[in-house]
Structures are given as structure tokens and as C-alpha cells.
A and B are shown apart, each in its own frame.
Chain A
């Protein structure tokens, strides 16, 4: 099934620069409906207020980390099937395993290129 390039995507990061980078990369890939949140709490509020087809989140944020956001999303009946990609500088084995066990759909280590983002999104969403 073709990927809906107009589906709303929520990007979550406490660094404005990174939000801009991911927004630009997604726009270049053809996605047009991109929303932003600056931590897990902000993201959960937005996720419960409208539909999002994909979440792309950093790990290291306060007060709610991306890992806690992921666990909250997977425990929420309405949100649990939303694809979730972690984009983070946390690059230890235990982080990847913990995220995988919590139900993340893919894991991108910062810094990353547009090509890596595209490849991982294809893995999660299908070809586009």
C-alpha cells in the first residue's frame, strides 16, 4: 500500500535546531503535514488531540524522555499502533534493546543523513 505523504507526522525533540533539521529532511522526502513537540509530555498532549501517522522522537528530553513517551504510547489503546521511530544520540546496546522491547519501530543514531532517515522510514512505512 502506498504511503500517504500527507499523513500528519509528529517530531519530538528538545533542540529547536534538530526539529528544523528533521522537518527539512521530511519536507525534502515529500511529507507535508509535520507538527512539533519539545518533550514527551507536550507530545502526548498533541497525540491525544489529533491523529498522527508517525512519531519521530528524540530520547534525551525533560521532563518526559522519548523512552517514557514510547512506553506511554504503547500503553495507550488509541495510540499503541502508531509507528514510532527513535532518533537519538543514545548509542549504547542497552538503549537499543530497551527501545526495541518497549515497542519502537526503528532506531536512528545521531548524527544521521537524509538517506538514513529515508531508509528507516521505508522500513517502517513501506516504499515511497
Chain B
């Protein structure tokens, strides 16, 4: 396993796990906030049903964290698989261990602060349309 893979692969896996933990915590907090808002509603007050619907919609949106964290964890599992094969190779169980090529467009979710925000993607998209 090359030093470059160690940095790009294992370090990224650690960052992915940290990001996943933070995103899960944020999602659970958002869900609990919405539930607490619903529990505090006086259902006899006009308009409270709409507030319940809004809270439910918010919970549904927040549940997208499962997709994002799932992708992060899948990437980590993939990296662990490479590490496992590399360790096997070191132990003489197999001759070589494959290191994934990093040029694919399948990068998964960006780490916090590293990917494009929606606004930047919109600008890029609009620029591409004019080109």
C-alpha cells in the first residue's frame, strides 16, 4: 500500500466517518426539534394542522441524511476492503493488492467544506449552458 493511497484512502475514510457521525447527529437533532414543535402545539388552535404538516415535511427532508451517510459508510467499507487485501498481501496470502483508481467521477458526497454548494453548481450549470 503506497503512502499516497494511505493519505488519499485511509485519511479520507476517517474524515468520511467523522462527517457521517456529525451529519447523523445533526439530522437526529432536526427530527427531534420538529417532533418537539409538534408536541407543543395546541391542536385546538386554528392552523395547527398545517403546522403539523410542515413539521412532517421537514422530517421527511431531513431523512435524506441516510443516503448521504450511507454513501460515506460504503466508501469506508470499500477502503477497509483494500486495506484488508493489502494486509493479506503483506502476509503472503495473495500476490498483489489492487488500489482503486481515483480518477472516476464517482466520488461520493464531498466532505464538509470541500464540495460545491448548490449556488456554485447553479452558476457552473448556467455557464455550461451558455458555452
A residues sitting closer than 8 Å to B (CB atoms) are 13, 15, 17-18, 20-21, 24-25, 28, 58-60, 65, 67, 89-98, 100-101, 106-114, 116
12 new A-B contacts, CB < 8 A, other than A89-B67, A112-B61, are A20-B63, A25-B60, A89-B68, A91-B115, A91-B121, A92-B116, A96-B116, A96-B124, A107-B122, A109-B116, A109-B117, A112-B64
Among B57, B67, B115, B125, max chain A CB count under 10 A is at B67
Known: A25-B61, A98-B105. A110 touches B115 (CB 8 A): no
Residue of B nearest to A15 (CB): B67
Check B71 against A89 for contact (C-beta < 8 Å).
yes
- Report the separation of the CA atoms of residues A15 and B57 in the bound assembly, to the nearest whole angstrom: 19
- Judged by DSSP, the binding face of B is helix
- Report the separation of the CA atoms of residues A107 and B121 in the bound assembly, to the nearest whole angstrom: 7
Check A92 against B124 for contact (C-beta < 8 Å).
no
Residue of A nearest to B122 (CB): A107
Check A96 against B125 for contact (C-beta < 8 Å).
yes
- Report the separation of the CA atoms of residues A68 and B67 in the bound assembly, to the nearest whole angstrom: 20
Does B70 belong to the interface (CB within 8 Å)? Answer: yes
- Report the separation of the CA atoms of residues A113 and B108 in the bound assembly, to the nearest whole angstrom: 19
Q: Which 6 A-B pairs have CB atoms at the shortest separation, nearest pair first?
A: A91-B115, A100-B128, A89-B109, A111-B64, A15-B67, A18-B67
Chain B: residues with Cβ within 8 Å of the partner, total of: 27
Binary A-proximity of B42-67 (CB < 8 A = 1, otherwise 0): 00000000000000010011011111
Chain B residues in 8 Å Cβ range of A20: 60, 63
Identify A21's interface contact among B60, B110, B125, B129, CB under 8 A: B60
Chain B residues in 8 Å Cβ range of A15: 66-67, 70
Smallest distance from the beta carbon of A92 to chain B beta carbons, Å?
6
**29 residue pairs from A and B, CB less than 8 Å apart:** A13-B67, A15-B66, A15-B67, A17-B63, A18-B64, A20-B60, A20-B63, A24-B60, A25-B61, A60-B71, A65-B106, A89-B108, A89-B109, A90-B105, A91-B115, A92-B105, A92-B115, A96-B124, A96-B125, A97-B124, A98-B105, A100-B125, A107-B122, A111-B64, A111-B65, A112-B61, A112-B64, A112-B118, A114-B61
